[in-house]
Amino acid sequence: MVEKTAEIIDGKAFAEKLRRRVADAVDQVQDAHGLTPGLAVVLLGEDPASQVYVRNKGKMTKEVGMASFEHRLPEDTTEEQLLTLVRGLNKNDEVHGILVQLPLPGHIRAERVLDAISPDKDVDGFHVINAGRLATGGADALVPCTPLGCLMLLKDKLGDLAGKRALVLGRSNIVGKPMAALLLRENCTVTIAHSKTEDLPGECRRADILVAAIGRERMVKGDWIKPGAAVIDVGINRIPAPEKGEGKTRLVGDVDFDEAVRVAGAITPVPGGVGPMTIAVLLRNTLVAACRQAGIEAPEI
């Protein structure tokens, strides 16, 4: 008998298509209104993973025809210096989106910095105003990029999500909470589970849609998954990979892919699933923010 395996959700291909649609829309607003959307990214310190993200953001911003502004500051930058930079970017008319790369060094209060970003330029969707707009169902919220990317993949695969049982594993402000709000907005029946949830496997097994964003490598096992469920794996965990050679590593998700792929109906791989969506959605958010600031309708993307 041929073993059944889940359909693989190709986030890399979807993100490429989304970036192409954003690039076309940027051409349109440039031609029609002389508007060049601009994205400013601020990075403090030398964290290698953050440096890779920021480099990729800058490259892809330029590829879609937007203006890219990079501010790399030393690790010992003070909170006041960072706030002064953010306030300057708020006033800069060439900048329509501002992203301060997280995590920030320990001496800086991230909430103070995120809330100093103008809500209209908050393309990360982390400002309390945007979080509040999303929580109250407002369609005009700027929505955090990773959960919005997950939702796009789910709608592309499943169509209408209304009435489906969704379980979000993880309750962070960056992924879990906004993901739950988005799924609720789609009329799912939403549960948020976390490290203190009783009978986590049982809760997961009830879900038609399972979004794992808990940051624990391969925690979700095959027998936690309802047969045929859609599984979105937000986790990016680096583990040793001695099979690739001494000292080598590889990336795995929060879901045990090899087990889950035999049970789920559809699943995102790691890498190549949710990861590539984040920057593509960031570019989409920047376009939307730029059009709103210019008082023009954003092209449909």
Positions in the binding site for ligand GUN (CB under 6 A): 99-102, 124, 145-146, 278
Active site includes 57? yes
Active site includes 101? yes
Nearer to ligand GUN, 125 or 269 (CB): 125
Nearer to ligand GUN, 173 or 191 (CB): 173
As a whole number of angstroms, the distance between CA 12 and CA 60 comes to: 14
Three-class SS of residue 210?
strand
Nearer to ligand GUN, 215 or 265 (CB): 215
As a whole number of angstroms, the distance between CA 141 and CA 132 comes to: 8
Q: Measured from the CB of residue 279, what is the shortest distance to ligand GUN in angstroms?
A: 9
Residue 179: closest CA among 195, 197, 161, 196 = 161
Q: How far apart are the first and last CA of the chain?
A: 43
Nearer to ligand GUN, 100 or 213 (CB): 100
Cα angle: 11, vertex 240, 101; to 5 degrees: 50
Q: Measured from the CB of residue 174, what is the shortest distance to ligand GUN in angstroms?
A: 6
The backbone torsions φ and ψ at residue 45, rounded to the nearest 5 degrees and listed phi first, read 85, -170
Strand partners, 191: 167
Residue identified by tokens 């300057």 is 88
Q: Measured from the CB of residue 100, what is the shortest distance to ligand GUN in angstroms?
A: 6
Q: Amino acid letter at 111? A: E
Q: Measured from the CB of residue 146, what is the shortest distance to ligand GUN in angstroms?
A: 6
If phi > 0 it is left, if psi is from -120 to 50 it is alpha, else beta; for residue 77 that is: beta
Nearer to ligand GUN, 23 or 42 (CB): 42
- How many other CB atoms are found less than 10 A from the CB of residue 297? 9
Judge whether 70 and 54 are in contact, CB under 8 Å. yes
Q: Measured from the CB of residue 162, what is the shortest distance to ligand GUN in angstroms?
A: 28
- Residue showing the smallest CB distance to ligand GUN in the complex: 102
Active site includes 51? no
Q: Measured from the CB of residue 176, what is the shortest distance to ligand GUN in angstroms?
A: 13
Of 120, 122, 124, 254, the active-site residue reads 124
Nearer to ligand GUN, 56 or 195 (CB): 56
DSSP 249-290: EEEE-SB-HHHHTTT-SEE--SSSSSHHHHHHHHHHHHHHHH
Judge whether 165 and 206 are in contact, CB under 8 Å. yes
Catalytic residue list: 57, 101, 124
